[in-house]
Amino acid sequence: MTKLVVITHPNEILRKRSDEVDRNFILKEDTQNLIKNMIETMHNDDGVGLAAPQIGKNIRIVIIGKDANPDKKDLVLINPRWNKLSRKKIVDLEGCLSIPKTFGKVKRYNKIQVTATNEKGEKIEFEAEKLFARVIQHEVDHLDGVLFIDKARDVYEIE
Ligand code: CO
């Protein structure tokens, strides 16, 4: 396993819209290794999620950490899309590995429907709520060049 370098704000890569990937790309050995290294890097840095632009790749791959997933498994979402299932939005504190030591309150939908492709190239579809839904919305934002500080209130830094 290789520990990847997480790039930090400000950086142009974090602000680009990332490209979708196809099944052939997903199944390549290099991509499979990249996914494993992203999972390793996320856990090493104590993140609950990681998006490919954060490790310098503008492709639509995100990892959702097992701590945010009710199934307690790390989840790989490729070309993810979501729709809201509730009108209700909830405010909670967020941080980001690309914006160290910074936190802010962000409003997110409480319940969403997610469709994506997994690391095996299979279509997956599921519902997510609370922290799980929040992390997915945060990571998908990364794929569109959006950072939590763009949406946050009461942003603060710690020592
Ligand atoms: Co982030």
Q: How far is the CA of 71 from the centre of ligand 1 (A)?
A: 21
Q: How far is the CA of 8 from the centre of ligand 1 (A)?
A: 10
Tokens for 100, please give them.
């160290």
Q: How far is the CA of 48 from the centre of ligand 1 (A)?
A: 9
The residues facing 84 across adjacent strands are 112
Q: ∠ CA(112), CA(157), CA(39), 5° rounding? A: 50
**What pLDDT tens digit does each residue of the chain (159 aa) get?**
788 999 999 999 999 999 999 999 999 999 999 999 999 999 999 999 999 999 999 999 999 999 999 999 999 999 999 999 989 999 999 999 999 999 999 999 999 999 999 999 999 999 999 999 999 999 999 999 999 999 999 999 998
Measured CA to CA in angstroms, residue 25 lies from 14, 34, 45, 71, 152 at distances of 22, 11, 27, 27, 34
Q: Is the pTM above the cut of 0.75?
A: yes
Would you name the residues annotated as active-site residues? 139
Backbone φ and ψ for 86, nearest 5 degrees, come out as -130, 155
Name the fold adopted by 12-157: Peptide Deformylase (3.90.45)
